[in-house]
Amino acid sequence: MMDTRLRKLKKIYCEIDQWAGDQEAVSRNLAAVQADAELAVVGEAIGPASVRLSGVNYFNQHGRLGPTGTNLDRLLEPFGYTVYPPYDVMLTTGQIECARGEGRNTVYCTDLCPVFPGRTSARHGDIRRPSPDLIRSAIEHRFLEREIEIVKPKVILLLGEHAYKSFFHFLLHTSVQDNLSSLVYHMKAADFPTYKCALVVPLLHPSPASPTFARWFKSFPNSPHAMAFVNLVQSYSRS
């Protein structure tokens, strides 16, 4: 079953490479892909230095987890999940050691826009947000939809306001709350829809540059909603 899923995912990744036309991007490292993960993490778009150059989401080409990935891994820990692969993964210039995620289940990581959208000016300018047309094109090619159909996660975590709004607008065709922070601070099962039988949960983007995420994450362990939220995700992902 796993081999079949990986073969199907590899076909999609090849289609993405052709669609993106990114000459610097390397092929997805299938050794790090958890094709039967119970929990999937969906970001807005690929960043410049992680999966684009390493073939593995959130890890750079030397096998090191970046700041956003580190925050995400800490966020996943109470749920029993990790971004680290279940086995050591060799990269062309380094290695990802699975030991850091030992005892936790590996998530499946992907993005609404599976291409680096570029920078605002020169090479070292700010990262450009993917345009609605670029996201729409990715959705029309059904990259994410087919990934979810293959992996069959039981929970989907959406990272950040833009991933949340785009996912709901393009895939769920339903209304969204303008204030994502309010939704995250008062998480209730009734607030979350399902997509292809998976519970869809929006979260703040775990960027170290986000003071909103930092405040929320600091208060989360002591929040009265924290345990209920953890139990909710665990009950869906392990059912």
192 pLDDT higher than 70:
yes
**pLDDT per position as a tens digit, 100-153:** 998 999 999 999 999 999 888 766 678 888 998 999 999 999 999 999 999 999
CATH number of this structure's domain 2-237? 3.40.470.10
| pLDDT at site 184 | 67
E strands, 25-179, are 39-45, 81-82, 89-90, 95-96, 105-106, 108-113, 155-159
Question: In this structure, what are the phi and psi dihedrals at residue 36, rounded to the nearest 5 degrees?
Answer: -120, 30
84 pLDDT higher than 80:
yes
SS3 135: helix
Q: List the chain domain ranges.
A: 2-237
Which one has a higher pLDDT value, 72 or 238?
72
Contact 118, 111 (CB under 8 A): no
40 pLDDT higher than 70:
yes
| pLDDT at site 170 | 85
Q: Which amino acid is at 15?
A: E
**pLDDT per position as a tens digit, 213-222:** 898 888 887 7
Distance of CA 27 to the CA centre of its chain: 18
181 pLDDT higher than 70:
no
